[in-house]
Amino acid sequence: MRPSVGGCKRRGLAQLFLLLLALWAPLHALQDELVLQGLNTPIAAAPIDAQRILVAQISGALTLIHVEDATQSVYVTIPDVNLHGERGLLAVTVHPDLANHPYVFVYVCLNEPAACSVFRLTHHENSGGHTSQATWAEALLLFQDAEGYLGPYHYGGGLAVTPDGALYVAVGDKTYPTETVTGKQLYRIAPEDVVGVTPAPPTTSIATGMRNPLSMLACDEGFLMFDVGGNDYSNSFEEINGYFPGGLIRVARFSCVMGGGLTGNDWYQGLGNQLIFLDYARQTLNAVPRTGCQAVGPSTVVLHTIGSPLHVMTRPDYTLVYTTLEGQVRRVRVGGPSLAVDELFVAPLAGPTPLILDLGAPDTDALTDWTIEWHLNGSRLGAVSSWTLDDVGTYMIEAVAYLGGVPEYTIQSFEVYAGPVLNLQIHSSRGRFEAGQSVSFSATASGSTSAPQSPQYTWRLFMHHANHMHRLVPATPNATLTYAVPWDGHAWSNDTALRVTVEAHDAATNQRGFAQYELQPRLAEVVIRVVVEGAQANAGRVVAADTMLLDGETRANPDTFLTARRFEHRLTAPASACAAGVHLARHIKASGKLVWTADAGGVNFYVTRNADLTVTYRTDGECHLALGAAVERSPLFELGAFDLVPGDGHLIASPGAQDNPASVPVTWAAATGAMLPTLDESFASTPWRFAVFDGAYNVRSGALDPSVGQAVAQSDGELTVVALVRYHGPGWGGVVLGEPTCVGSFGPGVSTGGSTAASPGGELMVETFCTNLIEQSGVVGAEAGWILQGARYCDGMAIMSLNETDLWQEEMPLALSLSQIAVGSDASLSTHVAMDVAWVGVWDACLSSSDLLQLSAAVTDMEQAFKQPDDDQDGGLGDGDDDRSEQPPDDDDDNDDDDGDSMPTQNPMVFTIEQTGDLGAAVSVSPPLGWISLTACAALLCHSLARFL
């Protein structure tokens, strides 16, 4: 496994996602097929011809795969590959004129020579054209980077052959000195050297400035490089850089989840020749409109991959082939290009029927006369039909294909709202289509009628179930749409999960926006209720979306959108509904499943799985339903609460024009709350999850009153973690953070070296962890705040994690990581170390070992622990005497090491981490501190402890 990709680390957390198509693009028949599996990190691939591809496995094996036959054969095995860090066989590309220049190029890190190098392999075609091979004995060295090899990460790996026959190699990191090979980044191997017998390796780079360019893509004007952009633990992004005759320029920039990166890429005719690329961490395929090599629009999710994608390529039949970290090669049948006037649409068919082909709309706002001709496998179906779309309504045309005198296929088209948008349902009397069959039609537009009469949103609701899509009647403003999916008596699975799509369409501008939900029912029936409001352009929004399940799970995916605005998802209720909510909360508490997806008064609230629904009362008389959430990674921030007790407090939701009291106290009696803002596009995928309020909160002044705050509130022995969020400004502004390098304002005029961008409306300042607090000083300064993010359930236990700093570094004293938990437990200590928060941070991994780890430390005054670094480097606490148990310093100078004033030995604390199953560990403190109880999945915490035992 290749563990990281520079600033955003690659990670192998396999999750199963449903395949979704964004509705801004045509909604085609979609089937994700497994071609084969069992490969060792197939990190790159390149086509040999229309049927076969070369797949580079990181171990050094280059495998030839026949996609249609799902067969594989050994192309070449590269010996002596070094797999340390991010090394291995990293890239492969094929000469575009393979018939005349039969060469394959690989970028690989070897033990000998100790370098990452580019080699040219000679392609040999076997008889029959089904298999081919190369031999390592014929490999010719074209390029070598020994300097970058010295580090464990950031080797680049981009290879591309441009139309002129030159080979470009992108390596290294801009942080290296530019006088080194690694620091120069981009090299050009001349065409004569690419195919020559004695090539001259390049010695001069042609461009610098990238950061770990992972892949490259040639185009007419030059080529693109996909490299890790920046990462400062609060702002992560990826860049697409282009090299053109004018030099190196940035083509696009995208936010990235910490621990992820942009991987494979290609041009895809099936989406109007857009640029497509993979997002490793989000497990998505994204598309960007382009003009030439230049990206001209925002990135949009096209589909969710099955597994963590590494490489993607397009094929002549409009299918996509992608590889995954889990060792699979998969093929996605997506269909043909978008419908345009006089353009042929071809959609391969496979799988159960009916299949849905949403053909989109041509580039016109006027209603148009259409003439449609249907074809199946090249044969015209029925007669040519035509009709005029002149009003809102339903239009149907049917053509029947007769195979051997038996009606086999029925094709229907219908329209449900104004505008020339066509949708096809294709049925087969046999119940499914066989692979290789296809349907096509040509469309001709003639004449023009009047444009839509009034700009307004009309709404469609789609239900997708087991490859069936049900289109419901359009909704009028403020209408409620309900759809029930009957249970057929079989167990539900991810393959039969439901998807509900709510789409808004402005017929005047032909703009669409939508929200999608994934539902995984567990029992008999699912009822989806969606309420929409707004009749004017830019005014429509979904104001309520919920599912009524006996037991079930809901995921919200509202991150994909067409226009500049987002649709808000809100669920509020009158106070009279609180009683019902309390009853429902009890049920969900028992089942551990999420029922509502909503926000609380304007701040977007998206929660995914394993949540506790609770009910709180507000001073304005409204009843707010809050969710104690174990959230998965999502491109948007979540807002949540852990076990709020009705009547003990209320959630500050949106104190603005309608609700802006002078002071809104928030008292968390038995639990903690959580809140984070909606982000702008540059922050749309940061891994932060939430920060937790502590104490009372004055909205108007933005002041936190520490006298009424609690360090941590205990909640029935479950994990409760507190962090401090400070509000700056008079009103709650639907807060948008800018691009801080390390959000760390710990008081007026105090900073940890980071910067914080202003945000519109009232400012919400989230105090967050900066690595220099640990790494530079080994102590935590006054009023250090932390942002806590990431929570999920691991074997039934809630866990939370910090923004993924390298928290558990070996150079960090263990005393700091453990004693940090106890800071603030004693009021007298807080006067010396003014900690506003107490925290425990764990990573996303779950403990897999069965070890019982226990550490005893004679420490009760944790303030002194911070002041006494481990000078003797023995892993103990304080300035000890080289014994592992580390006696406290003898501050009273009586040489007995028994009653030091700073660290008395009585009542020693014992931190215990105990295995609680294959997926979890419990962390406890003895003697009990009375203010915190921890239950967590703590893989790296446990491993850190193990190093110091």
Q: Is residue 549's pLDDT more than 50?
A: no
- Give the number of C-alpha atoms closer than 13 A to the C-alpha of residue 331, restricted to the C-beta side: 22
Same domain for 488 and 410: no
Please give the structure tokens belonging to residue 417.
């709202």
pLDDT of residue 79: 93
pLDDT of residue 318: 65
Confidence of residue 231 (pLDDT cuts 50, 70, 90): low
Residue 58 in any domain: the answer is yes
Please give the structure tokens belonging to residue 708.
């009424």
Check residues 515 and 107 and name the one with the higher pLDDT.
107
pLDDT of residue 75: 94
Phi-psi region for residue 272, left (φ > 0), alpha (ψ -120 to 50) or beta?
left
Q: Is residue 92's pLDDT more than 90?
A: yes
Which alpha helices (DSSP H) does 720-807 contain, by range? 771-775
Q: Is residue 315's pLDDT more than 60?
A: yes
Residue 796 in any domain: the answer is no
Q: How far is the C-alpha of 888 from the C-alpha of 857, rounded, in Å?
A: 10
Confidence of residue 33 (pLDDT cuts 50, 70, 90): confident
* CA proximity to 773, closest of 802, 797, 752: 752
Q: Is residue 48's pLDDT more than 80?
A: yes
Listed ranges 78-92, 282-296, 525-539, 578-592; the one with the highest mean pLDDT: 78-92
pLDDT of residue 78: 95
* CA proximity to 350, closest of 465, 435, 428, 268: 435
Check residues 711 and 462 and name the one with the higher pLDDT.
462
Q: Is residue 886's pLDDT more than 60?
A: no
* CA proximity to 93, closest of 27, 11, 158: 158
pLDDT of residue 123: 92
Q: Is residue 99's pLDDT more than 80?
A: yes
Same domain for 465 and 374: no
Check residues 378 and 11 and name the one with the higher pLDDT.
378
Q: Is residue 115's pLDDT more than 50?
A: yes
E strand residue ranges, 447-603:
457-465, 468-471, 480-485, 498-506, 511-521, 526-533, 541-548, 552-557, 573-574
726-773 pLDDT tens trace: 222 222 222 222 222 222 222 222 222 222 322 222 222 222 222 222
Q: How far is the C-alpha of 282 from the C-alpha of 296, rounded, in Å?
A: 22
Residue 468 in any domain: the answer is yes
Residue 907 in any domain: the answer is yes
Same domain for 181 and 54: yes
Same domain for 354 and 229: no
pLDDT of residue 128: 58
Please give the structure tokens belonging to residue 592.
């551990």
Q: Is residue 119's pLDDT more than 90?
A: yes
Confidence of residue 943 (pLDDT cuts 50, 70, 90): very low
Tell me what the mean pLDDT of segment 314-343 comes to. 66
Tell me what the mean pLDDT of segment 33-52 comes to. 90
CATH number, domain of 132, equals: 2.120.10.30
Contact at 8 Å (CB) between 399 and 311?
Answer: no
Q: Which residues contact 872 (CB under 8 A, 6 or more apart)?
A: 879, 880, 881, 882
Tell me what the mean pLDDT of segment 835-856 comes to. 25
Angle between helices 814-822 and 939-948 (to 10 degrees): 120
Task: Using CB atoms within 10 Å of the CB of residue 660, give its burial: 0 to 12 exposed, 13 to 18 middle, 19+ buried.
Answer: middle
Confidence of residue 65 (pLDDT cuts 50, 70, 90): very high
Confidence of residue 195 (pLDDT cuts 50, 70, 90): confident
pLDDT of residue 89: 93
Phi-psi region for residue 633, left (φ > 0), alpha (ψ -120 to 50) or beta?
beta
Contacts 24+ apart (CB under 8 A), 708-711: 708/665, 708/667, 710/668, 710/931, 711/824, 711/825, 711/830, 711/837, 711/838, 711/931, 711/932
Same domain for 206 and 75: yes
Residue 911 in any domain: the answer is yes
Q: Is residue 82's pLDDT more than 60?
A: yes
Tell me what the mean pLDDT of segment 791-800 comes to. 23
pTM of the model: 0.40
Same domain for 250 and 189: yes
Same domain for 499 and 543: yes
Q: Is residue 55's pLDDT more than 90?
A: yes
Mean pLDDT value across the chain: 47
Q: Is residue 63's pLDDT more than 60?
A: yes
Q: In the chain, what percentage of residues exceed pLDDT 90? A: 7
Tell me what the mean pLDDT of segment 592-616 comes to. 30
Which alpha helices (DSSP H) does 735-776 contain, by range? 771-775
Q: Compute the radius of gyration of the chain from its Cα atoms.
A: 30
Same domain for 468 and 428: no
Check residues 430 and 129 and name the one with the higher pLDDT.
129
Tell me what the mean pLDDT of segment 493-512 comes to. 45
Please give the structure tokens belonging to residue 641.
């609460």
Check residues 429 and 316 and name the one with the higher pLDDT.
316
Q: Is residue 299's pLDDT more than 50?
A: yes
Check residues 594 and 280 and name the one with the higher pLDDT.
280
Confidence of residue 180 (pLDDT cuts 50, 70, 90): low
* CA proximity to 85, closest of 159, 9, 146: 9
- Last residue of one domain, picked from the residues 446, 474, 498: 446
CB atoms within 10 A of CB 386: 12
Check residues 476 and 301 and name the one with the higher pLDDT.
301
* CA proximity to 837, closest of 720, 667, 735: 720
Amino acid identity at 690:
F
- Give the number of C-alpha atoms closer than 13 A to the C-alpha of residue 862, restricted to the C-beta side: 26
Q: Is residue 168's pLDDT more than 50?
A: yes
pLDDT of residue 196: 81
pLDDT of residue 480: 42
Q: Is residue 137's pLDDT more than 80?
A: yes
Q: Which residues contact 22 (CB under 8 A, 6 or more apart)?
A: 300, 301, 302, 560
Residue 301 in any domain: the answer is no
pLDDT of residue 240: 78
Q: Is residue 945's pLDDT more than 50?
A: no
Q: What is the DSSP letter of 271?
A: G
Q: How far is the C-alpha of 915 from the C-alpha of 942, rounded, in Å?
A: 10
Q: Is residue 42's pLDDT more than 90?
A: yes
pLDDT of residue 209: 67
Listed ranges 198-207, 489-498, 729-738; the one with the highest mean pLDDT: 198-207
- Last residue of one domain, picked from the residues 446, 471, 505: 446
Contact at 8 Å (CB) between 899 and 943?
Answer: no
Check residues 233 and 455 and name the one with the higher pLDDT.
233
Position of tokens 């249970």?
487
Amino acid identity at 615:
V
Enumerate the β-bridge partners of residue 452.
Answer: none
672-699 pLDDT tens trace: 222 222 222 222 222 222 222 222 222 2
Contact at 8 Å (CB) between 295 and 289?
Answer: yes
Same domain for 490 and 348: no
Confidence of residue 204 (pLDDT cuts 50, 70, 90): low
Residue 461 in any domain: the answer is yes
Please give the structure tokens belonging to residue 54.
């070369």
pLDDT of residue 610: 32
Q: Is residue 163's pLDDT more than 90?
A: no
Check residues 25 and 625 and name the one with the higher pLDDT.
625
Confidence of residue 216 (pLDDT cuts 50, 70, 90): confident
Q: How far is the C-alpha of 666 from the C-alpha of 650, rounded, in Å?
A: 6
Q: How far is the C-alpha of 536 from the C-alpha of 538, rounded, in Å?
A: 6
Q: Is residue 142's pLDDT more than 80?
A: yes
Same domain for 174 and 97: yes
pLDDT of residue 603: 27
Q: What angle do CA 428, 430, 434 make, to 5 degrees?
A: 80
The number of folded domains in the chain is 4
DSSP assignment of 843-881, as one string? -SS-------EEEEE--S-HHHHHHS--TT-SSSSSS--
Same domain for 234 and 160: yes
Check residues 565 and 496 and name the one with the higher pLDDT.
496
CB atoms within 10 A of CB 765: 22
| The dihedral formed by the CA atoms of 494, 496, 497 and 503, expressed in degrees to the nearest 10 | 140
236-289 pLDDT tens trace: 667 777 777 667 776 776 666 544 567 777 776 556 567 888 887 777 887 777
Q: How far is the C-alpha of 162 from the C-alpha of 168, rounded, in Å?
A: 8
pLDDT of residue 93: 93
Contact at 8 Å (CB) between 646 and 617?
Answer: yes
Phi first, then psi, for residue 107 (nearest 5°) are -115, 115
Check residues 113 and 449 and name the one with the higher pLDDT.
113
Check residues 129 and 301 and name the one with the higher pLDDT.
301
- Last residue of one domain, picked from the residues 542, 568, 594: 568
Of the given ranges (70-74, 296-300, 348-352, 859-863), which has the lowest mean pLDDT? 859-863
Contact at 8 Å (CB) between 597 and 517?
Answer: yes
Residue 582 in any domain: the answer is no
Q: How far is the C-alpha of 862 from the C-alpha of 413, rounded, in Å?
A: 72
Q: Is residue 586's pLDDT more than 80?
A: no
- Helix, strand, coil percentages for the chain (3-state, nearest 5): 10, 40, 50
**Exposure class string for 336-367: b at 16+ Cβ within 10 A, else e:** bbbbbeeeebebbbbbebbbbbbbbbbeebeb
Which alpha helices (DSSP H) does 364-520 contain, by range? none
Q: Is residue 84's pLDDT more than 70?
A: yes
Same domain for 62 and 148: yes
- Give the number of C-alpha atoms closer than 13 A to the C-alpha of residue 658, restricted to the C-beta side: 8
Check residues 840 and 127 and name the one with the higher pLDDT.
127
Check residues 181 and 627 and name the one with the higher pLDDT.
181
Listed ranges 144-153, 361-370, 906-915; the one with the highest mean pLDDT: 144-153
Domain with 547, as residue range(s), is 454-568
